Amino acid sequence: MVHIPDYRLARERMVKNQLIPRGIKNHRVLDAMGKVPRDRFVEEALVNEAYNDHPLPIGHNQTISQPYIVALMTEALKLTGKEMTLEIGTGSGYQTAILAELSKRVCTIERVRPLMVKARTVLAELGYNNILFKAFDGTLGWKEYEPYDAIIITAGAPKIPQPLLDQLADGGRLIVPVGNRFRQELIKATRKKGNIIQKNLGGCRFVDLVGVHGWKD
Ligand code: SAH
């Protein structure tokens, strides 16, 4: 008999051991992390590591982020289910699925086309129908659907890309790792009546955001 593993228990353990003890409190975020099958977003050879407490390679020199970082960034966006959300750096599509669970609609941009195509396939198989995909330089944003209530950049930037700040709605939240190529601080920027208020959520390490308003290739 072929044994098809069910990772429900692994997901529950991930929430209980990695997220709650580090301070993730939002129940909608915890529920989404307990629901989305992270095992579907990693390479077959790494499937047994899918719920481990670290990032994993996804090809093209890119990584799927550590579960805790996904939860931390998502919680900071304060999603209620009504948002138009923009994601820069689709990668595996795992963070995209979490955003799609918690927003009205997600626009996601990935510069490496084969990653976008693979993520789009997996997310369609899982039944998500509120996600729009684009293979492009996300530092330029996505004009057609602005303004966004929430913007998340899942790659490290030298500074916050100005087009993304420009496409943020009043009251909107933007999360981005900002720093050098080896170490960044997770910055939350909130637009309030034309002013941008910034808060530092702590240190992190991401792959490069490459583009016109990011690092040069
Ligand atoms: N959230 C993803 C993280 C992937 S790593 C996940 O958990 O799977 C970051 C991704 O950002 C990479 O796939 C990289 O190709 C992409 N990226 C880097 N610069 C970009 C840019 N300017 N526009 C869009 N995507 C970019």
The band of 195, judged by pLDDT with boundaries at 50, 70 and 90, is very high
The model's pTM is 0.97
Amino acid 98: pLDDT: 99
CB proximity list for 108: less than 8 A, separation 6 or greater: 86, 87, 88, 90, 93, 96, 99, 116, 119, 131, 132, 133, 134
What is the Å distance from ligand 1's center to 2 Cα? 35
% of the chain at pLDDT higher than 70: 98
Any atom of ligand 1 within 6 Å of the Cβ of 179: no
Any atom of ligand 1 within 6 Å of the Cβ of 64: yes
What is the average pLDDT score of the chain?
97
Q: Are strands 168-179 and 105-110 parallel, antiparallel or unpaired?
A: unpaired
Given 3.40.50.150, 1.20.1050.10, 3.30.200.20, 1.10.240.10, which CATH number is that of 54-204?
3.40.50.150
The band of 4, judged by pLDDT with boundaries at 50, 70 and 90, is low
Amino acid 22: pLDDT: 98
What is the Å distance from ligand 1's center to 154 Cα? 6
pLDDT 10s digits, 149-178: 999 999 999 999 999 999 999 999 999 999
Q: Please indicate whether residue 65 is annotated as part of the active site.
A: yes
- Range 6-24 average pLDDT: 96
- Segments making up each domain of the chain, as ranges: 54-204
What is the Å distance from ligand 1's center to 135 Cα? 11
Amino acid 207: pLDDT: 97
Q: How far is residue 154's CA from residue 99's CA, in Å, rounded to a whole number? A: 12
First-to-final CA distance of the chain: 49
CB proximity list for 5: less than 8 A, separation 6 or greater: 39
